[in-house]
Amino acid sequence: MQKTLSVIGLGKLGLGMAACLADKGHYVIGVDIDKKVIDAVNAGESPLYEPVLSDLIERSRGRLIATDDYEKAVKQSSVIFIFVGTPSEQDGGFSTRYIAPVAAEIGKHLKQTADFKVIALRSTILPGTTERVVKPILEETSGKLCGRDFGLCYNPEILALGSVIRDFLNPDVVTIGESDKVSGDMLADIYTATCENNPPIVRTSLTNAEIAKISLNVFLTVKMSFANTIAEICEKVPGGDVDKVSEILGCDRRIGRKFLTGATRYGGPCFPRDTKAFIAFTRQIGCQALLANAADQVNDLQNGRIIETIIQKVGPLKGKQVALLGLTYKPDTDIVLESAALGVTQIFVQEGALLKVFDPAGIENTRQVLPGNSIEYTESIEQCLRDTELCIVLTPWKEFKQLTPQDFIREMKTPVILDCWRLYNNKDFRDGVDYIALGVEGSRPC
């Protein structure tokens, strides 16, 4: 059964969800304060870089509209999803300074409606936020009672930038923290009809859903930091190869292969800040998050590990002509926040290296963060490599995976490559290229 739904907050994740729901036949009202976003969506265009999103928005014209009108969204929708940002506080926790006014605005218009509506919070928050912050605001501004006059759910997103559409339509699990059964039923019906892989739908309390969301991301950071520790061990033990070790570990069903690659630091808008928020929250309630602390500390060491590997191979960096391939924290996104490349680039600049950088999507975002005459932003892989003495592959974009030894030999002055993701760790790179693979013992041509 098709419904009218609202999504408040048309960022990368919120707009992706709205487009998926509209593409599945629902009438979706997207609410945002950014006029450029509103105009682009209503023109059938994507204002954001995210694979497949443009196609969905174009296909959904007439079913997906964008507006800044809360009243229209609340009055016409049966379910209102809140998908606004929760910036980090100084202590590492999450701010509710965007959620609180949104809840108040919803409550104001909820007061004028007689229908039972469900408000579903999707943003990343600390445990207790839905019950202690969102619920009181909704009840006070609407004059209504949660669980009787309206429903409230915490329905956390588990979406990765670069694969938002695929992840939303094919989730591993749908988590619904519910204030009441009717609200949970309404959300479950939407996901049952929308998801393409028949995922498990776990229904629980608001608090358990909140704890599960932040715990999931922190568990993954622990796993990634452990993989990076294995990679460092393999670099120092004769014959060590992190890919072989991870393959063995990943075959154990209790562990699994994902997030065991062992490469650069984890970055982006979620993993680093979620780990710090988890640590801050556990400190507040008198618990110790020793594993999360360790993951965070290991992550902070990774850029230094890359620099150390480079200096051991090529000596002092001052005056070196260096090509950096990859600026974003992962492929298929333009986000450079907390990426390994940003940290490595800053160190190279401090050491006096002459940098040329290229990324398929992250150039402009990096330029805003790291302006300066010591960085040359190039428009192609070839231009980036030309006349350089060292190349570092920092992000595993598919465009980089397709490179051959001849591509490096033809353009570089001295083809020395540090491959942080072992994209070229094979016999093709025996001749003419001095190849170093992070996570593999020895600085050798492969």
Nearest to 224 by CA among 289, 294, 277, 280: 294
Per annotation, catalytic residue among 234, 270, 391, 446:
270
**CB-count burial class (<10 Å; 0-12, 13-18, 19+) for 179:** buried
The Cβ-side half-sphere exposure at 356, using a 13 Å CA radius, reads 20
Nearest to 31 by CA among 23, 44, 42, 20: 42
Sheet holding 416-419, edge to edge: 375-377, 354-358, 321-325, 390-393, 416-419, 434-437
Q: How far is CA 344 from CA 15, 157, 442, in A?
A: 32, 30, 21
Question: In the structure encoding, which two tokens stand for residue 150, read together?
Answer: 């309206």
Q: Is the dihedral of CA 390, 396, 400, 403 positive or negative?
A: positive
* 20 annotated active-site: no
Q: Is the dihedral of CA 397, 402, 405, 410 positive or negative?
A: negative
Q: How far is CA 219 from the centre of its chain?
A: 15
Nearest to 310 by CA among 320, 298, 300, 296: 320
d(Cα 118, Cα 126) in Å, to the nearest integer?
A: 21
β strands within 273-365, DSSP E: 321-325, 354-358
Catalytically active residues are: 270
